[in-house]
């Protein structure tokens, strides 16, 4: 009874902190709510305003209506995160354009002689690459390769396609460079790269195993069989040998420097810039691989959330929310997972930022948020950008990955992996 009374008192305190007669406060709340609503549904109905546009419009209104000054808006942008993401995009673009991923695909084809072995290979490749490279780009690269492969093998493409985003999301949990939300968390928390990996790689490893098991069980007719895959002839992968070697060497060097404690943003942008110094690939081809809308959305969201922090989230209100059991791993994981599915994982992380910073153990809290926000992306087809990338690229090739088709594997996978993550952390 006393606990509930204290909790209700905290909620009343939070409500009193919002000064509704203040025009800036009302503007900040309205802009924040409208921005996050458009981000949640993906696009403003009847208009061409997408997530990136909504974030930029929200940021502009925050500045234009005086909620934040232009100088405060500049300071709100976490340029470490933007720089890290840009650098990683350039590195992955060079790996793709060099033909590296096609070489990996051919290597897998030559060794996978059973459907279950092929599934395990796809899960392992998607998960391991996504652990060190940005998971969205791995899905973008792998989907056409897997589609081409299963078509030639005359297999049901659905379970193999499901393996790509699910394994990619799970694998990306392990590192700061695995996905955009982890990059933000790494920058905000200042958790060393090695410490982050040491805490979360077991969650990713167990998740990889669970991904394989669940897909194999749901599609048991495809995988629990004595039938072997037919031999397929693979034409030599078109690749630029020197660029493959250069891209791989730069990537490996970056990983070493990450673990050595060097600033990840600096390492990523220097590595990306070095790969632009080449005679083989025109720079504009690399630039076309950069996800500019994602970078713009990040910039806008940083400013929108800062506007809300400056007007609504006073120290007293933050302290009140922080006392609502957010210190416990199950509650924080549940809140993060639900919020991530409502508005997407990156906006969810930014909303939780002031409350995590005020917690008793911020490092552990950030690790829980990183785990839950990433694994929550597997819950539904629209749970993460990686899922949508695979679904859209598959649809372009005449293969439909439906909502319920995804949900019957993704929902139990999300619950099981988050439960393990809560137990582990």
Per-residue pLDDT of the chain (425 residues; tens, 9 = 90+): 555 555 555 545 445 555 544 778 888 889 988 988 888 777 788 888 888 899 999 999 999 999 999 999 999 998 988 999 899 999 999 998 988 988 888 888 777 788 999 999 999 999 999 998 888 889 988 999 899 888 888 889 999 999 999 999 999 999 999 998 999 999 889 999 999 999 999 999 999 999 999 999 999 988 888 788 776 665 555 677 888 999 999 999 999 999 998 999 999 999 999 999 887 788 888 899 888 888 898 899 889 988 888 887 665 565 555 555 667 889 999 989 988 887 778 888 888 888 887 788 899 999 999 999 999 999 988 788 888 889 888 888 888 888 899 999 999 999 999 999 999 98
Per-residue pLDDT at 328: 86
* Confidence (pTM): 0.84
Cα–Cα distance, 306 to 309 (Å, whole number)? 5
Per-residue pLDDT at 231: 67
Q: How would you write the chain as a 3-class SS string?
A: CHHHHHHHHHHHHHHHHCCCCCHHHHHHHHHHHHHHHHHHHCECCCCCCEHHHHHHHHHHHHHHCCCCCHHHHHHHCCHHHHHHHHHHHHHHHHHHHHCHHHHHHHHHHHHCCCHHHHHHHHHHHHHHHHHHCCHHHHHHHHHHHHHHHHHHHCCCHHHHHHHHHHHHHHHHCCCCCCCHHHHHHHHHHCCCHHHHHHHHHHHHHHHHHHHHHHHHHHCHHHHCCCCCCCCCCCCCCCCCHHHHHHHHHHHHHHHHHHHCCCCHHHHHHHHHHHHHCCCCCCHHHHHCCCCHHHHHHHHHHHHHHHHHHHHCCCHHHHHHHHCCCCCCHHHHHHHHHHHHHHHCHHHHHHHHHHHHHCCCCHHHHHHHHHHHHHHHHHCCCCCCHHHHHHHHHHHHCCCCCCHHHHHHHHHHHHHHHHHHHHHHC
Closest by Cα among 144, 112, 116, 141 to 126: 141
Per-residue pLDDT at 319: 58
Cα–Cα distance, 214 to 250 (Å, whole number)? 36
List the domain boundaries for the chain: 2-424
Tokens matching residue 245: 């070697």
Per-residue pLDDT at 8: 53
Counting Cα atoms < 13 Å in the Cβ hemisphere of 354 gives: 19
Cα–Cα distance, 166 to 207 (Å, whole number)? 9
Per-residue pLDDT at 39: 81
Tokens matching residue 195: 């410490």
Cα–Cα distance, 417 to 172 (Å, whole number)? 13
Cα–Cα distance, 118 to 124 (Å, whole number)? 10
Evaluate whether 142 touches 101 at the Cβ level (below 8 Å).
yes
How many residues make up the chain in this entry?
Answer: 425
Per-residue pLDDT at 363: 93
Q: Which residue matches tokens 């193999």?
A: 160
């Amino acid at each position: 009874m006393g606990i509930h009374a204290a909790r209700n008192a905290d909620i009343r305190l939070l409500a009193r902190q919002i000064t509704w007669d203040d025009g800036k406060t009302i503007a900040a709340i309205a802009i924040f709510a409208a921005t996050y609503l458009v981000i949640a549904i993906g696009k403003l109905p009847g208009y061409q305003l997408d997530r990136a546009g909504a974030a930029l419009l929200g940021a502009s209104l925050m500045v234009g209506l005086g909620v934040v000054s232009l100088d405060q808006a500049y300071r709100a942008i976490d340029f470490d995160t933007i720089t890290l993401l840009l650098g990683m995009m350039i590195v992955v673009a060079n790996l793709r354009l060099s033909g590296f991923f096609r070489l990996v695909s051919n290597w897998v084809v030559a060794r996978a002689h059973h459907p279950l072995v092929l599934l395990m290979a796809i899960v392992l490749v998607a998960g391991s690459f996504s652990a060190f490279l940005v998971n969205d780009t791995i899905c973008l690269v792998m989907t056409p390769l897997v589609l081409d492969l299963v078509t030639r093998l005359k297999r049901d493409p659905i379970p193999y396609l499901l393996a790509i985003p699910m394994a990619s999301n799970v694998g990306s949990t392990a590192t700061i460079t695995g996905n955009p939300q982890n990059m933000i968390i790494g920058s905000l928390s200042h958790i060393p790269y090695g410490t982050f990996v040491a805490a979360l790689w077991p969650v990713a490893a167990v998740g990889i195993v669970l991904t394989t098991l669940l897909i194999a069980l749901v599609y048991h007719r495809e995988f629990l069989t004595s039938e072997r895959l037919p031999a397929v002839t693979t034409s030599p992968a078109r690749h630029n040998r020197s660029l493959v070697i250069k891209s791989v060497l730069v990537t490996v060097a970056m990983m070493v420097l990450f673990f050595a404690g060097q600033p990840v943003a600096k390492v990523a942008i220097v590595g990306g810039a070095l790969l632009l110094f080449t005679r083989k690939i025109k720079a504009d081809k690399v630039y076309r691989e950069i996800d500019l809308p994602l970078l713009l959305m990040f910039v806008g969201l940083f400013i929108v959330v800062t506007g809300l922090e400056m007007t609504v989230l006073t120290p007293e209100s933050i302290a009140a929310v922080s006392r609502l059991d957010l210190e416990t791993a199950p509650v924080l994981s549940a809140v993060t997972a639900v919020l991530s599915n409502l508005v997407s994982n990156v906006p969810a992380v930014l909303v939780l930022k002031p409350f995590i910073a005020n917690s008793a153990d911020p490092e552990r809290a950030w690790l829980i948020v990183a785990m839950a926000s990433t694994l929550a992306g597997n819950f539904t087809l629209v749970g993460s950008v990686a899922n949508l990338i695979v679904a859209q690229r598959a649809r372009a090739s005449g293969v439909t990955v439906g909502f319920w088709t995804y949900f019957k594997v993704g929902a139990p996978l999300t619950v099981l992996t988050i439960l393990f993550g809560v137990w582990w952390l």
